[in-house]
Each structure stands twice: as C-alpha cells, then as structure tokens.
Structure 1
Amino acid sequence: MPLINRSSMSIHWRIFTPDDRTRAFGIAPAYEGTIAAGGQAGIGYSASRFQLEIRDRPPLSVIPPSRILVPAGPPGIVGELYRSSDMLEYLGGSELRLTTHEVVDVPGFLPSTHGFRFANSFPANTAHVSVRVGSVDMAIGDAANGLCGGMVYAVRDHFHAGMPLPAHKAGPVSGVLYEYLVGRLYDSFDGLGWTEYLRLMSPGCSAGERARTAYFTALPSIESDIRNGAPSPIGLVQVNTDDPFKVGNNHQVLVYGFERNGRRVRLRIYDPNHPDRDDITLDFDTSVTPPVFSYTVPPGGDGRIYSFFCHRYQQRQPPPADQIPPWIDFPFPNPLAEGANDIIVANGWLGLLRIERVFGNRFNGTIYGQRMEGEWNPATRAIRFTRFLGPGYEQLYTGVLELDPETRNLTGRLSGSFQEIHGDVTGQASYDWRAAPRLLVDGNGWQTELRLHRLDGDGSVAGEMYGDAVDGRWDHAAQRLHLTRRSADANYAQEWTGRRTDGLTFAGDFQEIVRGVRQARQYRWMAFDRR
C-alpha cells in the first residue's frame, strides 16, 4: 500500500503483525522506514493485514526521544488493521486518511432469487419457540417476531446445497418446513449465539467493546466468508438491557456482500423481515466509537443497532423437496355473492352470514339463523346490514370489504362493528365483527380451505375441507371447535380440535383414526381468514 506523507516533517513508520498486542518491536527492519515531507513509500506485509505505527523519528532515537504520532492501537489491544491494497495519507498531528474501495459479493446470490418469498411474520398464536436456560424456559422472540435465525440459516443451507427454496408465500405454521425452520433457529443460538447477545446487549458492555466486536472480530470473519463465496449469518444487537428475556428482540440477518471505501463499510444484507429486497444495507465507519450503524429499514428492539457479531454456522442438509407440501394459491371468493355462506365472529359469537338474494347493491339472507337485510357501496367498499332479532330489537352492522395492502385487490374478508337498537334507541356500545367466505387451513403443512355449510344454534357444524366432508361441534363457552374429517375410506378418519385464539384464527391438533383406533401421534393445525 502507498503511505503518503502530506505533512511538513519527516515521519518514521513501523508495521506489526495482526495479532501483536505489545508492539515492542516491528516485524523486521524491512517493515519500517522513514518518509520525507511530501514523500511516499510502498509499505505492506506478506500476510496482507497489519497494524501501523507512525513516529516523528526512529524508535531508538534518544536525543530528542522518539515520539509516537499515530499509535497502532490502545495498549494491550489489537488496533486498526490495514491491508496492502489500501492507501494511507499522513496529514500531520495524529490524522491519517485511509482510502480504499473494494466491492465483493457472493457470486450468484440475491435476496430476490435466493431468499424466502414470505416475510418473517407468523400468526400471534403460533407456538413460541423457547430454550432452557437453567430452570427457566426463555422465549426466542414471540410469534409476532417470527423465526429470523431459522430462516437465515435455511437460506444459507439451500444456497450451498444448490436447492431452490420452497415457493411458499406465507410462513408455515406446521409440518416439515416449519419444524426445519424451528430446528435451525435453535441451531443459530448454539455456541456463540446466546452468550454474544447477552454480552453485547448488556448496559455493562462498553461502547468500545461493542465497536471492537463489530469492527475487529465480526467484520474480518464476514469478509472471509464472502471472499470464499459463502453468505455470512450475523446477529444484530438491538436492545440495551440485562433482561435475558429480551434476547428475542434482537435480529438475525444474512450478509452476502460488502463494500469498503476507506474506513466506511457497507454490508449488503438479506433481511427475512423484508423478502425480495435487494437494496437493504448496513453502513458504518470503523473509525467511529461509539459505533453508529445506519440500516436501510427501521430496526426492531430499541430502534437502533448497538453492535453485531458472527454466528458459528454449521451447514445442514435441507429436507428433500418432496417432503414439503407445495404452496397453493386459493382465490378470494366474493363474500357477497348469492349463495355465499360467510363464517362470522361477532363479539366472540361464531356463526354463518348467509347471502340468499342479491339485488344490485342490496342483499338479504340470514345471520346466526335470523333474518338480515343490507347493502354495500362499490365505490367506498362500505357495507351495512341489519339483523332482526325480534319485535323492537335489532342489530346494525357496519364495515368494509377489506383490500390487500400490497395488491389493492379485494380479499374476500369483511370487518367492522355493530350496535344494538332497542326500539328507536341505538346503544352507545359497539362490538367488533369480521367475516370470510372460507378459512385457510394449514394442517401439518398441507393447505386447504375450510368451508362451513351449517353452524346451528346448538353448535352443530358441517362443511368440507381437503375435498372431504367434515362435521362436528362449536363450543361457544370454551371457544373450541371439534371437527371430524371423513374420507372415502371407511376405515380412516381424522379428529380435529382447536381453540379460537383471535378473530377468525384457530389453532389446535388433529389425530388419525385408523379402523376405529385413535393413533397416538398429534399433528398441528391452524386456520385463518388471512395469511
């Protein structure tokens, strides 16, 4: 590398090995020298990376004694590491200007082509993932935070195996793919994961230690991975607390490229919270302490990044593609079409909203088995209908047909609130309701639609899913749904039991019944009106 002396005095330089903490002697006489004012010299080290010290005269000078102008680093600590490809300018005093520009990416990797198509977002009632620490089960995030570490590890697994990722557009909640992601999440917290998060997120960890971990431990490891064609999993420390239960508020991402321009560094990142985005970067300056990290998207936790570290990734073979059920796109039915049987929940009561006749923008039918009349506005998507419960008692439902926030298309879902009307007096209280023509079911990873044809006042239920008839009972007091799926094989059936957790979301387990014998194994299932 060229070292240019732009000061008005001569300087003496010495090189130390990358791991020399004492710096009592240079590597050898060949790795030190003097540069006159305005002059320059080519310096470097065969191992490429090195520490550099600048003095006003050779270190053995006695009269006057040699004085350090630019120290290689703090006493007992490895300092700034330079490379033979850099350019340094000494500007006088203690100021060095580093100029280097290097761009290295993992060949062939982009989040839009090698990342999952779904975001790191899972339903609020997805089973929490936890690890045992002493006598306490500690959650790794919560269901809303998802499985970022598992997704990051899985992406690297598939990339190295040369296998395409599953084409799912929403995160799995059961089955082989879900279990694989959960397993890889556990793997990401083995070894360094837990201890590094706890160390770096502690308020007792100094800004200098956070900077050293990111700049001098993690960054060289990331660069080594990238140069070897491997995306590098890193942990982003996003909280400043000693509370171990906040570990899940941190985040894991995958670095697939870096750019260096002097001390300024940019990491190119696959962030599982933001699928299909090739523009997410983490920027910082290795001369700044406390470290300041600029992220393309707002980070979670405290809303800032305090440090980052490299995970000790170990490759694992992904499950074979034929073991993962395929993704299915189900079209959005029209909930206001003539003959629609919409599943509705209003103030905790589950039932059916039946559309029997449609006249332009007006419709009638039944809700909870009682007469209903209403209308909707195609321009505003507003809907209103009245439920007639008896003489002098009605309920007025108002709401909207929901739009998909990305495609701006109708989703087939209805939501709003209702009020009670006694005589001519409208009650002040309002209650939430939502409805959908079908529920999307994920049973052990296999997707289908659950459509109900009957939900009587006594709780009796009938419908279909996976092309088979189902019947059972809705227990309002327990908010539990019991279904029996009956196949064409008289010797085979399935018993499904689940609890309504929120809105039109259900979660539970199912078991197989073979020749009248209930099998021991339980499989997870969930149902939603949205994904």
Structure 2
Amino acid sequence: MAVDDFLPSRHGFAFTNAWPDQPAVTLPTPFGDIGIGNAGGGLCGGMAFAALDYWLAGRAPGLDRPAAGDPLYRYIVDRLIDSWHAPAGVAQFYQWMSLPDGDNVIKLFGRRVVTERGLGWRTVRVQWPQIKKDLDRGLPVPIGVVTTASRNPKDLGLNHQVLAYGSGADGSRVTLRVYDPNRGRRDDITIRMDTSAPARPVTFDHNLGLGQRPIRGFFRVAYTPRQPA
C-alpha cells in the first residue's frame, strides 16, 4: 500500500472527467441493457476506482488524458463497468433513486410506525458508519452519490461516483473530503451533512461538479483492487 495519505492533488488524475463523444458503455442490468451514454457523459466511477488502484499500488496515475483505444482509456472504462457492480450495484442505485428522502411514517393505533426508511436514514445510520470505519483506518472508499428521484432506469446515468478519503465532525455535522473526477486535483471538495435527524430528509451541502443537481444520499460501493494499467 502507498505510504502517504491519499490526496487528490497528488494521487488524482491530472485531467478531469470530461471526454469527447465516444462509443457508449452498455451495462447488463435487471431492467435490460442500459447505455450509460457515451464517454462524453463521464467515466466518474472508472476514474475513482482507477485512482484508488494506483494509490494502493504505490504508483502515480497518468498525467495526459488518454485517447480512445489507449490502454489507460480502456482501463478506466473497464473500471467504470466494475464500479457499477452489475446487477447488484445497479439495482441499489435504482432502488435509492426510487426511495423518499425521509422516512415514510404512518400512525397505527396511536403509534408512529415506519413503513419505509428514506435516504437520510440509510445514509446516516447504515452507510456512513461503514464508510467511516475504513476512513479511520486510512483507506479511501468509493461512494455512489444519488442525485435524482426517478423510477426511470434511463436516469441511472444522472448519478455520480467519487472517492472519499477523509472525514471530520463538529458535533452532528460531518464533513467528507472527496476526490471528485469532475473537479480534478482539487483538495477542497467536500460533502457535508447533519446527522442529528436521519429520519427526516437530510440536507447535503457539497461542491461536487454536479451542476445544479443535489445530493439525496450516498452509499459505499463494492470495490476490489486491480493492478492498474
């Protein structure tokens, strides 16, 4: 493993997640084959996985943006497919897109009964403790970021993937430091959340390269190291 801590300015790719129009990446899913657009739509998961691969191998990532057909380009595309962890990972993105932000609650015989956990509770109570455990050990964690509410499988490509590499807390306020392929080698990219009321919709403040899209929740992505190209 690399001896120094992960830092985007040292261990991220020198180029951002911006690519010319190139053939689409098609993934098999429980809903049928889904094209994640062409490369112009982004290869965020592949870049996050590849950056972690290089860091674990103690090697510097590529400096120049690879052209289609280059070994590094093919490697990033392969890692993008790995990052979707089909079919389970794709199904998790789809499930989270379909869930409410806060818990669904009904009153039954005068008592409040939770009928469905929302993204706030699933992020804060289930996913965050798992992510924090690895971060506390100094191990970066790829996370899937849900940015849209939809039941249309074609909207899967609107979601995002980043690499969390550090965290801090001020009371119930948690800050994740992340490598966002959309932002390149910036060390100031963060996701912030208040963990005090996870049953209600949780507000996520961020400066990820998502345009106007919000963060609704995030989860740990299944990752297996691979020898980098």
Fold shared by both chains (TM-score > 0.5): yes
CA contact (8 A) 2:48 2:162 kept: yes
Q: Is 2:225 aligned against 1:225?
A: no
Give the structure 1 partner of residue 20 of structure 2.
123
Q: Is 2:223 aligned against 1:316?
A: no
**TM (normalized to structure 1)?**
0.38
User: Take 1:142 and 1:199, find their aligned partners in 2: how far apart are those partners?
Assistant: 24
Instruction: Show the 5 A alignment for 1:508-519.
Output: none
Q: CA deviation at 1:175?
A: 2.1
Structure 1 stretches of 5 or more lacking a match?
Answer: 1-105, 320-531
Which whole-Å deviations, capped at 9, do the CAs of 1:282-316 have from their partners, x for residues lacking one? 0010124201000124524x611111000011111
Q: CA deviation at 1:226?
A: 1.1
Give the structure 1 partner of residue 72 of structure 2.
177
**TM (normalized to structure 2)?**
0.86
CA contact (8 A) 2:101 2:202 kept: no
Q: Is 2:3 aligned against 1:113?
A: no
Change (3 A) 1:171 1:243: farther
Change (3 A) 1:290 1:206: closer
CA contact (8 A) 1:200 1:237 kept: yes
User: Take 1:135 and 1:233, find their aligned partners in 2: how far apart are those partners?
Assistant: 24
Give the structure 2 partner of residue 159 of structure 1.
55
User: Take 1:250 and 1:233, find their aligned partners in 2: how far apart are those partners?
Assistant: 14
Matched residue SS, 1:144: helix
Which whole-Å deviations, capped at 9, do the CAs of 1:226-282 have from their partners, x for residues lacking one? 122211100110111001111011000000100011110000010000111000000
User: Take 2:120 and 2:25, find their aligned partners in 1: how far apart are those partners?
Assistant: 30
User: Take 2:75 and 2:50, find their aligned partners in 1: how far apart are those partners?
Assistant: 8
CA contact (8 A) 2:27 2:33 kept: yes
Which whole-Å deviations, capped at 9, do the CAs of 1:14-49 have from their partners, x for residues lacking one? xxxxxxxxxxxxxxxxxxxxxxxxxxxxxxxxxxxx
CA contact (8 A) 1:122 1:173 kept: no
| AA aligned opposite 1:285 | D
Q: Among residues 200, 219, 232, which one is paired with 2:96 in the alignment?
A: 200
Q: CA deviation at 1:142?
A: 3.5
Which whole-Å deviations, capped at 9, do the CAs of 1:84-122 have from their partners, x for residues lacking one? xxxxxxxxxxxxxxxxxxxxxx95211010000111011
Change (3 A) 1:296 1:133: closer
User: Take 2:217 and 2:77, find their aligned partners in 1: how far apart are those partners?
Assistant: 25
Change (3 A) 1:175 1:254: same
User: Take 1:133 and 1:153, find their aligned partners in 2: how far apart are those partners?
Assistant: 20
User: Take 1:283 and 1:142, find their aligned partners in 2: how far apart are those partners?
Assistant: 31
Structure 1: 4+ residue segments shifted above 3 A:
none
| AA aligned opposite 2:138 | G
Q: CA deviation at 1:145?
A: 2.0
Matched residue SS, 2:218: strand
Bigger relative contact order, structure 1 or 2 (CA pairs below 8 A, ≥6 apart): 2
Change (3 A) 1:121 1:255: same
Structure number with larger C-alpha Rg:
1
Which whole-Å deviations, capped at 9, do the CAs of 1:327-357 have from their partners, x for residues lacking one? xxxxxxxxxxxxxxxxxxxxxxxxxxxxxxx
User: Take 1:121 and 1:171, find their aligned partners in 2: how far apart are those partners?
Assistant: 11
